[in-house]
């Protein structure tokens, strides 16, 4: 065989009863109780995740087409759901990969583990891509790999030995131990018919939560979660994604190709933060199970590339910013009265995870906005040089005018017909949330949308209208409160 048995006095023992702890474990890390380390090894990194889907390589890595993941169709993989412990060790250069490989292989076999796959360098296929399965490793110069499974199939072990360049004084090897276990669901979802005003259904806010925040009463949090961002509006439009995302360039969704639905009512958005050990798989599987158990219908769910151009999801919810991966669930009550989206981007921090929950409770708007008459608009322009145009509504984070805006635009058109000499600037304003450059561009698109609607639908001459956006540079109120932010999101008419 291509590996000759090698025996050393320091043979690493792998046994079900192994409990030896290292003498020099790194802070927060320890050997897995089933896999002891070489006596000269030191822990470089350690992570333990309570519930995750682990991909164990059991054949050569296939050639990939993209940049960011392995080619799964051509790569044999075992998928194990359960607890994953991942440890990266550093060892002196004088210890060979063959030495450690053979020691672990013999120990696995002596503990009745089944060897599923073993390889060295080119026999591993596209071995440099292994770091896409274990992001802690930098696989450049070579790879020795060993995959095994316990006799009862409950525990899977993968060992990857990665020698460094000849100039390095040490090299690394990684131990992954995946232990199959069922999901422990710690997320509650209350049935849609439960009154959302029931006080006992919402837990008390935590000290770590942002001020003024709370859970939605129908959707209590995971016990380890804290609220990092919170917003609630009594009446807002909510666009719920129901299919893969298609974008138009960098800053706009292609709504003709992107399947979605819109609803209006009370909208609550919560961004939760979790410890790194609580994984994306645990949260999303828990929500899916709890939603089904409580009578909600799953309308759409996707993961990573199946979500389409998921980097554009922040156009639907600016608090969720996917970068390297994405998992999404859309659901609704049977009567459609309650709609929710759960969005979990791939973590971009080793310290914590974040996910967004959006809940829309359909209801009719209680109109508290006064639409000024043509004479009142003209008087405001004469007295102050400007008039706030009430009754203008846009889709969320978009320049698309809602049909209910036409009532206010009719009054503007009537004023301009009565005063044919009048020319006006249409000026868009935003609150100060988000980047200034983006808000300036959004406010200008919204202002121009109002001008275009007056020109196209109400026959106002184009030379009499011009749109500008000033973002948050001319606030009408403080941006420190939700009420002040709402006042600052407005469209004004300014006399030229």
Q: Which two tokens stand for residue 254?
A: 């292609």
Phi, psi of 387 (to 5 degrees): -145, 130
* 157 inside domain: yes
**Does residue 492 contact residue 387 with C-beta atoms inside 8 Å?**
yes
Question: Which is more confidently placed, 64 or 449?
Answer: 449
Same domain, 354 and 396: no
Mean pLDDT of 471-496: 89
User: Is 4 inside a domain boundary?
Assistant: no
Residue 70 has what pLDDT?
81
The model's confidence at residue 394, banded by pLDDT at 50, 70 and 90, is: confident
Question: Of 342, 362, 382, at which residue does a domain stop?
Answer: 362
Please indicate, yes or no, whether residues 335 and 212 belong to a single structural domain of this protein.
yes
Single out the residue in 311, 329, 362 at which a domain terminates.
362
| Structural domain contains residue 16 | no
Band of the pLDDT at 24, cuts 50, 70, 90?
Answer: very low
> What is the per-residue pLDDT for 200?
45
What is residue 436's predicted lDDT score, i.e. its pLDDT? Answer: 92
What does the alpha-carbon distance between residue 108 and residue 94 come to, in Å, rounded to a whole number? 24
What is the CATH classification number for the domain harbouring 470? Answer: 3.30.1330.60
pLDDT above 80: residue 167: no
Residue 250, pLDDT score:
75
Locate 428 and state its tokens: 């868009």
Mean pLDDT of the chain: 87
Q: Determine which of 153-162, 185-194, 203-212 has the lowest per-residue pLDDT on average.
A: 203-212
Do 46 and 166 have their domain in common? yes
Phi, psi of 418 (to 5 degrees): -75, -20
* Domain C-terminal end among 339, 362, 385: 362
Same domain, 471 and 385: yes
The answer to whether residues 80 and 163 belong to one domain is yes
Q: What is the pTM for the complete model shown? A: 0.64
- Both 352 and 379 in one domain: the answer is no
Range from 110-124, 226-240, 354-368 carrying the lowest mean pLDDT: 354-368
Q: Which is more confident, 396 or 192?
A: 192
Which region among 150-159, 230-239, 368-377, 421-430 has the lowest average model confidence (pLDDT)? 368-377
Query: How deeply is 209 buried, as exposed, middle or buried, from its count of CB atoms within 10 A (0-12, 13-18, 19+)?
Result: buried
pLDDT classification of 25: cutoffs 50, 70, 90: very low
Residue 121's region, left for phi above 0, alpha for psi from -120 to 50, else beta, is left
pLDDT at 466 over 90: yes
Does 480 score more than 80 pLDDT?
Answer: yes
Q: What is the pLDDT of residues 267-295, one digit of tens each?
A: 999 999 999 889 999 999 999 999 999 99
| Whole-Å CA distances, 431 to 271, 481, 488 | 19, 10, 5
Q: Do residue 349 and residue 474 come from a single domain? A: no
Q: Are residues 432 and 358 in the same domain?
A: no
**Residue 222 structural domain:** 199-362
DSSP-derived secondary structure for 280-304: HHHHHHHHHHHHHHTT-EEEEEEEG
pLDDT bracket for residue 398 (50, 70, 90) = confident
Residue 194 has pLDDT above 70, yes or no: no
Give burial (CB, 10 Å; 0-12/13-18/19+) of 330.
buried
Task: Categorize the per-residue pLDDT at 491 as very low, low, confident or very high, splitting at 50, 70 and 90.
Answer: very high
Q: Is 369 contained in some domain?
A: no
Same domain flag for 96 and 166: yes
Cβ partners under 8 Å of residue 180, min gap 6 = 80, 81, 82, 153, 154, 155, 156
pLDDT score of 203: 53
The alpha carbon dihedral of 369, 375, 376, 379 has a sign of: positive
Express each pLDDT in 34-72 by its tens digit: 998 999 999 999 999 999 999 999 999 998 766 667 888
Task: Provide the pLDDT for residue 390.
Answer: 86
pLDDT at position 204 is 62
Asked, for residue 10, whether it belongs to a domain, the answer is: no
- Residue 374 three-state SS: helix
What average pLDDT does the segment 236-243 reach? 92
Region 314-318: mean pLDDT is: 87
Q: Are residues 153 and 258 in the same domain?
A: no
Rounded average pLDDT over 439-457: 94
Query: Comparing 199-203, 241-245, 307-311, 374-378, which segment has the lowest mean pLDDT?
Result: 199-203
Determine phi and psi for 288, rounding to 5 degrees. Answer: -60, -45
What is the pLDDT, as a whole number, of residue 481? Answer: 82
Q: Percent of the chain beyond pLDDT 70?
A: 90
pLDDT of res. 116? 97
169 and 301 in a single domain? The answer is no
Does residue 29 belong to any structural domain of this protein?
no
* Residues 348 and 398 reside in one and the same domain: no
Nearest-angstrom CA–CA distance, 309 and 149: 37
Q: Are 14 and 33 in contact (CB under 8 A)?
A: no
Number of domains within the chain: 3
Residue 162, domain member (yes or no): yes
C-alpha 135/C-alpha 119 separation (Å) is 19
Structural domain contains residue 5: no
């Amino acid at each position: 065989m291509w590996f000759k048995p090698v025996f050393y006095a320091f043979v690493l023992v792998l046994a079900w009863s192994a409990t030896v702890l290292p003498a020099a474990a790194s802070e927060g890390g320890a050997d897995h109780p089933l896999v002891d380390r070489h006596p000269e090894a030191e822990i470089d990194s350690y992570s333990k995740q309570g519930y995750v889907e682990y991909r164990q390589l059991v054949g050569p890595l296939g050639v990939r087409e993209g940049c960011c993941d392995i080619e799964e169709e051509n790569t044999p993989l075992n998928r194990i759901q359960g607890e994953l412990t991942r440890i990266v060790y550093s060892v002196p250069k004088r210890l060979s990969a063959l030495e450690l490989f053979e020691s672990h292989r013999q120990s696995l076999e002596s503990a009745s583990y089944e060897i599923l796959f073993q390889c060295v360098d080119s026999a591993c296929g596209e071995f440099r891509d292994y770091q896409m399965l274990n992001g802690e490793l930098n696989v450049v110069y070579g790879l020795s790999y060993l995959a095994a499974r316990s006799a009862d199939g409950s525990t899977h072990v993968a060992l990857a030995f990665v020698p460094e360049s000849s100039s390095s004084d040490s090299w690394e090897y990684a131990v992954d131990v995946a232990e199959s276990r069922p999901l422990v669901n710690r997320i509650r979802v209350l049935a849609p018919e439960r009154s959302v005003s029931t006080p006992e259904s919402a837990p008390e806010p935590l000290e770590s939560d942002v001020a003024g925040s709370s859970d939605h009463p129908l959707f209590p949090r995971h016990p380890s979660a804290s609220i990092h961002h919170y917003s609630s509006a009594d009446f807002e439009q909510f666009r719920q994604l129901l299919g893969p995302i298609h974008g138009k360039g960098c800053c706009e969704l292609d709504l003709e190709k992107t399947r979605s639905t819109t609803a209006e009512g009370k909208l609550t958005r919560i961004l939760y933060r979790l410890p790194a050990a609580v994984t994306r798989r645990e949260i999303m599987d828990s929500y899916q199970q709890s939603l089904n158990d409580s009578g909600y219908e799953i309308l759409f769910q996707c993961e990573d590339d199946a979500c389409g151009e998921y980097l554009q999801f922040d156009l639907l919810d600016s608090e969720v910013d996917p970068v390297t991966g994405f998992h999404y669930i859309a659901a609704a009550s049977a009567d459609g009265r309650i709609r929710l989206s759960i969005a979990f981007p791939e973590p971009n921090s080793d310290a914590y995870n974040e996910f967004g929950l959006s809940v829309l409770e359909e209801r009719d708007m209680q109109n508290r906005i006064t639409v000024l008459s043509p004479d009142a608009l003209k008087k405001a322009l004469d007295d102050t040089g400007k008039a706030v145009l009430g009754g203008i509504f846009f889709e969320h984070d978009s320049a698309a005018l809602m049909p209910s805006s036409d009532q206010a635009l009719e009054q503007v058109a009537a004023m301009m017909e009565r005063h044919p000499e009048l020319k006006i600037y249409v000026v868009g304003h935003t609150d100060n949330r988000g980047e200034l450059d983006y808000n300036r561009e959004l406010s200008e698109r919204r202002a121009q949308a109002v001008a275009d609607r007056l020109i196209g639908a109400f026959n106002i001459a184009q030379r009499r209208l011009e749109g500008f956006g000033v973002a948050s540079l001319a606030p009408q109120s403080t941006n420190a409160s939700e009420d002040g932010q709402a006042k600052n999101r407005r469209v004004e008419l300014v006399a030229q």
